[in-house]
Structure 1
Amino acid sequence: MSEIPEETNNEAEFNNQETITKVDGMYKDWFLDYASYVILERAVPAIEDGLKPVQRRILHSMKDLDDGRYNKVANIVGHTMQYHPHGDASIADAMVQIGQKDLLIDTQGNWGNILTGDGAAASRYIEARLSKFALDVVFNPKITEWQASYDGRKKEPVNLPIMFPLLLAQGAEGIAVGLSTKVLPHNFIELIDASIKHLQGKKFTLFPDFPTAGIMDVTNYNDGLRGGKVRVRAKVSQFDKNTLVITEIPFSTNTTTLIESILKANEKGKIKIKKIEDNTAAEVEILVHLPSGISPDKTIDALYAFTNCELSISPLGCIIEDNKPLFVGVSEMLRRSTEHTVELLKQDLEVKLGEFEDQWHYASLERIFIENRIYRDIEEEETWEGVIKAIDEGLKPFIAHLKRPVIEDDIVRLTEIRIKRISKFDIDKAQQKIEALEAQIAEIKYHLEHLTEYAIAYFVRLKNDYGAGKERKTEIRLFDDVDATKVVMRNTKLFVNREEGFIGTSLKRDEYVCDCSDIDDIIVFTQDGKMMVTKVDSKTFVGKNIIHVAVFKKKDKRTIYNLIYRDGKGGPSYVKRFSVTSITRDREYDLTNGLKDSLVHYFSANPNGEAEVVTVLLRQVGSIKKLKWDLDFADILIKGRDSKGNLVTKYSVKRIELKEKGISTLKPRKIWFDDAVQRLNVDGRGELVGEFRGEDRLLIIRQSGVVKTIIPELTTHFDDDMIVLEKWIPKKPISAIYFDGEKERYFVKRFLIENEGKEETFISEHPKSHLEIVSTDWKPVAEVEFTKERGKDRKDNQVVELESFITIKGINALGNQLTKDKVNTISLLDPIPYEAPEEIPANDIEVVDEETIDASNDSSETSNADDNENYKTGDDGQITLF
């Protein structure tokens, strides 16, 4: 085989190499130019006027066309294309967005609906004109900087001289190349107030306000900077026992997408609904009908957890300043906008000052020219230059008080005065005009010297003129976090194969455990003393010989597990009580001492800390005298799950039998009401409502005259008109004074609640009936102030002791008439002192505080000595309390 020449080898190697093309020029020039264009000319608003270029050009075009009448939007779009080098569709869309914000554009026709998501009609069908607010604050040609339009035929503003924080009022959103912006809208009145505070040197805080209203948590707003977050919720309330009503929706959604998210959650089994009705028109009204037996309160939380009824919005404050993107918070935007407004006001005053001074200068020259008959000096002049010189010479003796020199243009204007005007010249009127101009000049100079006060007055005028109807729509409230596992619908069934050690939703031939959801965790205990928590799945192996399986509740302090186990093969037996509040998922925990062949003799899970009595039976071995005795779990302290426990016996246990079911050994649970989030809690937030046992209830009274008692569940939602929330004492009467609309009289009634859990109305159903006062004191006292009748002396106030005024009657009784006289006001006074009867406790056993459970939950290093300190074991194996 002949050798290949060296040159041929090099050529082949060169041909196999990829061709490398440098693109540095493209990225340095073309791409950067494109990115800069998108950032500056399309996506990000300028800080000076808060507008993107297309918005600025639309407003400028509308000003061009403004004659006080409505213009077709199609006409405005076509006119805007003289300034905006893009298609008409983008201009029309931008104009609709401005119009829907209801601030700068006065709209007519179908402009769409931000609540339902319906689009606007075609631009040829809808009309628009500038609003009075826009005409007032947006335009001022005399202080506007102009530039040539894209084709050089027109002049357009570089920025509009907007003297208002428009960017924060309207909000802005845009995606550019490499960055984006999302400035949330804020309240019109609050922005003005913040501007005034800034000018006064005071601190201010701004939070968003959305046109869709709703509820908002601004805990992590972070002043609108990157990394901040706003949580928004729909306003959901209970319409009746089987219906929820949504009356306000979160920002960035609409009724269509909201309903779709609810239906999707229903299909996935997260919630359970019967049907949805959308009655939205000018106001939002979505009715969510629930099947019988479904909790409305739980469904409200589920809507927040699994649908668009709760959304998280991440703001990003990015604006253009000096042709560069700048990331700033809304407070800084407000400060810059306010200071820019002050500068524009200054420029406007300076322009007006110059105009008034020019008018004063010319009015003074005109008076001198006519009063001193200088016009006669030009009669002999034959040339234009001679005329100008003659007037100039004639004025010199009289112009020492003028504020600037006389120029040729001033003299030319004097020559243009008509003879008729000279003949009718009134010196007094001329002097009055000059004095009026001097007053205006003085006023403007005063404003310039006190520019801050002038700017404050300007903002106050804006608030007075345009603030009506612009009150805050979005309610600011702290949100409690919804635990999805507590509110999700149990849409599937959990099964267990105890012997083989499998759990899952697909084991339909095996033992049914309970209903569960696909987001639940499952806790499992096995015969060898092992515990594990795992995510629910179709089939999972957790360990053979399962003795207990259930849905795991994280941070559950009240579920107590009672356990008696043998420590290793032939070892002693121990008893322990513990809770499981936190774990690592899929990790196996050993509840014994870890010796091989350990065995569980007895196990029970108690949702409210119940402590049963069991009988311990020993095997007959050797000389054991007592083979049987009772063990009461109430005598065992609740400790951590890693504790060894107390010694039961060192002998072999034959079996353990349940003798007597137990009652709770936990203290009554303290429950607080947090008014900020309108929720119950057990964390000490808000006002203490009381201590509750399992059978205790809450009493709720609403301003509408509705009363009911409920079990105090932490997921309960409360109506806005709730006026009484306290622990219900069944024998404690409720006293009320109400106005009966049919009889047009005030009545007093006292009653007890006989139907637990039933919602009842205790005032008449007449539309004019209303509840005046209600009291849950044992002996309430009210004061009645009467209306003064014409021609009569005012009747003295009447003090009424309600207990002696009327006896306790049924809830449906009319009551006793309070008075026949006309009543002005009724108010509650301090009640008569009364020592309420003590409540008889449900049991007299010693209870264990829940805090004890917490303190011992992590006691993995508990010593054996501590575990055994309360017990002594005799030769017969029986445990005895010291």
Structure 2
Amino acid sequence: MEENQNINPEENPEFVPENQEQLDHSDSIVKVNGMYKDWFLDYASYVILERAVPAIEDGFKPVQRRIMHSMKELDDGRYNKVANIIGHTMQYHPHGDASIGDAMVNIGQKDLLIDCQGNWGNILTGDGAAAPRYIEARLSKFAGDVVFSPKVTNWQLSYDGRKNEPIHLPVKFPLLLAQGGEGIAVGLSTKVLPHNFNELIDASIKILKGKPFTLYPDFPTAGIADVSNYNDGMRGGRVRVRAKISQLDKSTLVITQIPFATDTSKLIDSILKANEKGKIKIKKIEDNTAAEVEILVHLPSGVSPDKMIDALYAFTDCESSLAPLGCVIENCNKPLFIGVSDMLKISTNRTVNILKRELEIQLDELETKWHFANLEKIFIREEMYIDFKLYSDRESLYEYLYKRFEPFKKILIRNIEDEDLQKLTQIPMIRITRFDSDKADDAIAKLEADIEQVKHHLANLIDFAIDYFTTLKEKYGKGRERQTELRSFDTIEATKVVLRNTKLYVNREEGFIGTSLKKDEYVADCSDIDDVIVFLRDGKMIITKVDDKKFVGKDIIHIAVFDKNDKRTIYNMIYRDGKSGASFVKRFNVSGVTRDKEYDLTQEKPGSQVLYFSANPNGEAEVVTILLRQVGSVKKLKWDVDFAEILIKGRGSKGNTVSKYPIKRIELKEKGISTLRPRKIWFDDTVQRLNVDGRGELLGEFKPNDRLLIINQSGKVKTIIPELTTHFDDDMIVLEKWKPSKPISAIYYDGEKDRYYVKRFVIENENKEEIFISEHEKSQLEIVSTDWKPMAEIIFSKVKGVQKDNLLVNLEEFIAVKGIKALGNQLTTDKIRQINLLEPEPEKMEVKNEENISEDIKTDLEDDGQITLSLD
């Protein structure tokens, strides 16, 4: 193969051309880098302006605009084959049928501009549309009302110069914000998220009224969205979207809504991959999606549904993050980066201008009709047509007519022109002979009324625009309510919800840890994303990631899976400072560390050694006995140290002195109890989560063994340890701190016996969820109360026109506390229309000694003051 011989003679003076003709052509050579620079810029500009980015004026990309224009040209009220529409659009669009077909399906699936017939695919499942020859389409009524107005449209020649196409369509609605849009051009991209139809109209009306407004996305796949960092849809913003997951039963989760920009197939694939990687553990998954999403996730026994919901959000496409980027084309020639609020303002102002132009055109047409109607009336009434035979040419005839109309110029609104006279001379004689002056006056009066109305609209243009938007909402807004629920999300820590599907082992003497050391000491279950905290005998501490096998240091005294946000685990330690120094005691927690960095918990002297160490998950403080070696005249060789008396400080603290003499050994004398304060827990109804940050309603202060009481509308009751990751059912009606001896009162309808019953009970099995109403399918819970003395109002139905007086029932007096499975006492034999729970009566008790007051009553006295005590 010969080498390429494109050599520049100026750069290579030794090169001698074979003939002079080669030199003559050297002046026309263009360097490749020059061509690349010019051509690439042209290409980039074309892709940005003509393909990928929508225009701010009408919200369409060029292919979308050409599709809509073609559908308008083909519109006869009937459906057209999509293949036919694609072929017609190719007269305007130079990029082939595939790009047109894909763009048309995309518009059709948004259910706004195109009335679709046939299989247009499914945005929920990701199924594609049928071939264009099998599906049909026509313009929707909404598109006919808001997209087209030929009289105010500006036109340009198509790419081949044979047709006229609109530069922009006169869209009178923020289509780009309603449908959303995205595209990747050369050097930039755009991603405008879809917004709610009715909310856009409401916001446009607020703009016209000068009121503030906010816009947040609303997705056709519904789901849940956190828009706290939306940033008005501009660069740098983020929208977190989640699937809607609920607990169907103890072993089944159901996904009923999915995040935007995904589909059920992708979602299921992500769940299966997470299961294969061991992040989650599921039994099987079923996809029952049809018109609505229904994905059943079956869990194996022993897997917490609450924890699994968080794990699905953490490790699968059930949660994703969207990065909006508001980029549009302005004035057909440059990209503009803009927020959705400004997009809506521009769209609203453009709608007002289009309405104004339409009104001005309508006014001109009405005035033209009024002008000619009056000319015709005068022409026939004055019998100007009789003398036509006296004039042989047009000029003399027009001169005659101008003179005849001269006395009537004052009543006309514009000058008479030759075109007016031409129309008058072409009026058929039969129309003249049948001319009805009264009907003509009525028609003129109607035109005058229409002219006044249009002038009124022009004079009150903003009010007219507000009425226009209001009419749009009334006509097309039904069924377009918000689908996506807006909610603030808690950040899910993957390490807290990941499936711990492997085991961590340790070789303490050799200093190795890992998941492959199966012959060594078992530590705990873990996952491959967990961190491990390790304490060594020499006082060193290190936090490192789980691995198959890793050396961390010899003589390990404690190892555990590490939670960086755990502030309640307290480490109690006694160490010797150096080889023969004094011993010190300290209590500390561990947070804010760097992975794989070695920390010294002693005073960093050589030979330092940990003499006693314990890890306490709830801040427990034990009592230990110190035994000294017999040294000289030391008399006190034994005493106790209570860790409860030691303040909790940072891990770098020196600690308190235990003894300056050598310690023989340290013995555990007494196990400790928590020295941490009870933890205050709140319930945030917005996110349906517990928290310790003061958000929402305070549930109380919780000690380690305290529990929450949960009652659902379905008649189920249970108690749980208050964990911050707990999920709550939608039908939860009671959530409060559980007081074991405090009875629960309920009135329920028994579907089998067709009677209302009253029961009072206490929970006997705190670790079991139980149902306290009958399990007949028609049974239902009417009211439930955890007050000491609840009151209910019974409203009876009319019987033969007679209304029985309402009945007040003190549930405490009505029935004694019985077992949770007891049927209860029948409330009444009369027909009941309604049952209301009233404010409880304050309980008054007289006791002789404070010791007789139960702890629950004391707590209620402190919490709500409902109980009045008289103490001697």
TM-score with structure 1 setting the length? 0.91
TM alignment of 1:682-697, pairs within 5 A: 682-697=692-707
Q: 2:742 touches 2:856 (CA, 8 Å); kept in 1?
A: no
Report what 2:493 is aligned to: 483
Which stretch shifts more, 55-64 or 26-35?
26-35
Structure 1: which amino acid aligns with 2:159? Y
Shift of 1:743: 4.4
Q: Provide the C-alpha distance between the structure 2 equivalents of 1:690 and 1:283, rounded to a whole number of angstroms.
A: 41
> How far apart, in 2, do the equivalents of 1:241 and 1:207 lie?
35
Query: How big is the shift at 1:621?
Result: 2.4
Shift in CA distance, 13/592, structure 1 to aligned 2, threshold 3 Å = farther
Instruction: Give the structure 1 partner of residue 341 of structure 2.
Output: 331
What amino acid does structure 2 have at the position aligned with 1:94?
Answer: A
Counterpart contact for 2:515–2:548, Cα < 8 Å: yes
Task: Tell whether 2:408 aligns with 1:398.
Answer: yes
Deviation at 1:511, TM superposition (A): 2.0
In structure 1, the residue matched to 2:868 is none
Query: Which residue number in structure 1 is paired with residue 749 of structure 2?
Result: 739
Alignment-mate amino acid for residue 212 of structure 1: T
Q: Which residue of 2 aligns with 1:410?
A: 420
Correspondent of 1:514 among 502, 509, 524: 524
Residues 653-672 of structure 1 correspond to what in structure 2 (within 5 A)?
A: 653-672=663-682
Match of 1:531 in 2: 541
SS at match of 1:782: strand
Decide which moves more: 512-521 or 733-742: 733-742
User: Of 839, 854, 873, which aligns to 2:855?
Assistant: 839
The residue identity in structure 1 corresponding to 2:226 is D
CA–CA distance in structure 2, aligned partners of residues 687 and 463 of structure 1: 38
CA contact (8 A) 1:374 1:395 kept: no
**Which deviations, in whole Å up to 9, do the C-alpha atoms of 1:84-138 show, x marking residues without a partner?**
1111111111000001001001111111111111111111111111111111111
The residue aligned with 2:450 is 440
Q: Does 1:292 align with 2:301?
A: yes
Distance between the aligned counterparts of 2:368 and 2:551, measured in 1?
A: 95
Aligned counterpart, 2:154: 145
User: Which residue in the other structure is 2:138 paired with?
Assistant: 129
Are 1:91 and 2:91 matched, yes or no? no
1:574 to 571, 579, 584: 584
Query: 2:352 aligned to 342, 345, 358, which one?
Result: 342
- The answer to whether structure 1 residue 29 and structure 2 residue 45 are counterparts is no
- Aligned to 2:760, the other structure's residue is in SS state strand
Distance 1:443 1:311, change over 3 A: same
The code of the aligned residue for 2:702 comes to F
1:663-690 C-alpha deviation (Å, 9 max, x unpaired): 2222222111111211111222221111
* CA RMSD, 1 decimal: 2.2
Deviations 1:121-164 (A, max 9, x none): 11111111111111111111111111111112211111111100
**Counterpart of 2:736 in structure 1: which amino acid?**
E
In the alignment, structure 1 residue 273 sits paired with structure 2 residue 309:
no
- Whole-angstrom distance in 2 between the partners of 1:738 and 1:710: 24
Mapped to 2, the partners of 1:729 and 1:832 lie a distance apart of: 19
Paired residues for 1:434-513 under 5 Å: 434-513=444-523
Taking the aligned partners of 2:666 and 2:354, their CA distance within structure 1 comes to 89
Q: 1:38 to 1:789 in 2, by over 3 A?
A: farther
Instruction: Identify the match of residue 212 of structure 2 among 197, 203, 208.
Output: 203
Question: Which range moves more in the overlay, 336-345 or 287-296?
Answer: 287-296
Q: 1:823 to 1:397 in 2, by over 3 A?
A: farther
For residues 199 and 747 of structure 1, the distance between their equivalents in structure 2, rounded to whole angstroms, comes to 58
What per-residue deviation string (whole Å, max 9, x for no partner) do you get for residues 15-38 of structure 1? Answer: 79xx99745642553222111111
Partner of 2:238: 229
Task: State the AA in 2 paired with 1:319.
Answer: V
Instruction: Determine the C-alpha separation between the residues in 2 that align with 1:774 and 1:374.
Output: 93
Decide whether aligned partners of structure 1 residues 823 and 598 sit closer, same or farther in structure 2, where only a CA change above 3 A counts.
same
Matches within 5 A, 1:27-426: 27-322=36-331, 323-426=333-436
Structure 2: runs of 5 or more not aligned: 1-9, 17-25, 846-852, 858-872
2 CA distance for matches of 1:505 and 1:828? 57
Q: Percent identity?
A: 72
Moved more, 773-782 or 350-359: 773-782
Q: Is the 8 A contact 1:377 1:390 kept in 2?
A: no
Deviations 1:303-328 (A, max 9, x none): 11111111010000000111210000
* In 2, Cα distance between equivalents of 1:206 and 1:774: 40
Q: Structure 2: which amino acid aligns with 1:747?
A: Y
Structure 2 counterpart SS, 1:809: coil
Mean CA deviation greater in 779-788 or 294-303? 779-788
Contact 2:741–2:856 (8 Å) recurs in 1? no
Whether the aligned pair in 2 keeps the contact of 1:377 and 1:391 (CA below 8 Å) is no
Which amino acid in structure 1 is aligned with residue 707 of structure 2?
A: R
Distance apart, 1:343 and its partner CA: 0.4
Tell me, what secondary structure is at the counterpart of 1:379?
helix
Counterpart in the other structure of 1:847: none
1:610 is the counterpart of 2:620: yes
Q: Distance in 2 between matches of 1:64 and 1:789?
A: 68
Map 1:813-828 onto structure 2 (within 5 A). Answer: 813-828=822-837
Report the counterpart of residue 627 of structure 1 in structure 2: 637
Give a deviation string over 1:772-829, Cα, whole Å, max 9, x none: 322111111122344556744x443332222122222333333334344454443222
Letter in 1 for 2:779: S
SS in 1 for 2:104: helix
Paired letter, 2:380: I
1:876 is aligned to none
Change over 3 Å in CA distance of 1:377–1:800 after alignment to 2: farther
Which residue of the partner structure matches residue 561 of structure 1? 571
Q: Which has the higher contact order (CA 8 A, sep 6+)?
A: 1
Equivalent of 1:783, from 793, 799, 824? Answer: 793
Q: Paired residues, what number?
A: 830
SS in 1 for 2:627: strand
1:796 to 802, 805, 827: 805
Query: Amino acid of the residue matched to residue 72 of structure 1?
Result: K
What amino acid maps onto 1:839 in structure 2? Answer: E
Deviation at 1:646, TM superposition (A): 1.9
Partners of 2:813 and 2:111 in 1: how far apart? 59
Range that drifts further, 332-341 or 707-716:
707-716
* Higher deviation after alignment, 756-765 or 477-486: 756-765
For the residues of structure 2 that align with 1:237 and 1:244, how far apart are their CA atoms?
Answer: 6
Output the CA distance in 1 between the equivalents of 2:408 and 2:754: 85
Cα shift at 1:251: 0.5
Give me the whole-angstrom Cα distance separating, in 1, the residues matched to 2:614 and 2:221: 52
Secondary structure of 2:843's match?
A: coil
Return closer, same or farther for 1:712/1:13 CA change in 2, 3 Å cut-off.
farther
CA distance in 1, matches of 2:174, 2:751: 49
Aligned pairs for 1:846-861 within 5 A:
none
Q: Decide whether the 8 Å contact of 2:112 with 2:140 is kept in 1.
A: yes
Query: Which amino acid is 2:368 matched to?
Result: D
CA deviation string 1:209-260 (max 9, x = no partner):
0011111001111000001110001111111111111111110111111111
Give yes or no for contact 2:516–2:549 (8 Å, CA) kept in 1.
Answer: yes
Uncovered stretches (5+) of structure 1, i.e. residues with no partner: 1-9, 842-882
Q: Distance in 2 between matches of 1:219 and 1:364?
A: 63
Aligned-residue offset at 1:648: 1.8
Structure 1 residues 835, 144: CA separation in 2 closer, same or farther (over 3 Å shift)?
Answer: farther
Contact persistence 2:792–2:810 (CA under 8 A): yes
Structure 1 equivalent of residue 780 of structure 2: 770
Amino acid at match of 1:383: D
Deviation at 1:764, TM superposition (A): 3.4
Task: Tell me, in whole angstroms, the C-alpha distance in 2 between the residues paired with 1:487 and 1:146.
Answer: 59
Counterpart CA distance in 1 for 2:30 and 2:446 is 76
Shift of 1:13: 9.0
Q: Deviations over 1:813-858 (max 9, x none)?
A: 33334344454443222211137955389xxxxxxxxxxxxxxxxx
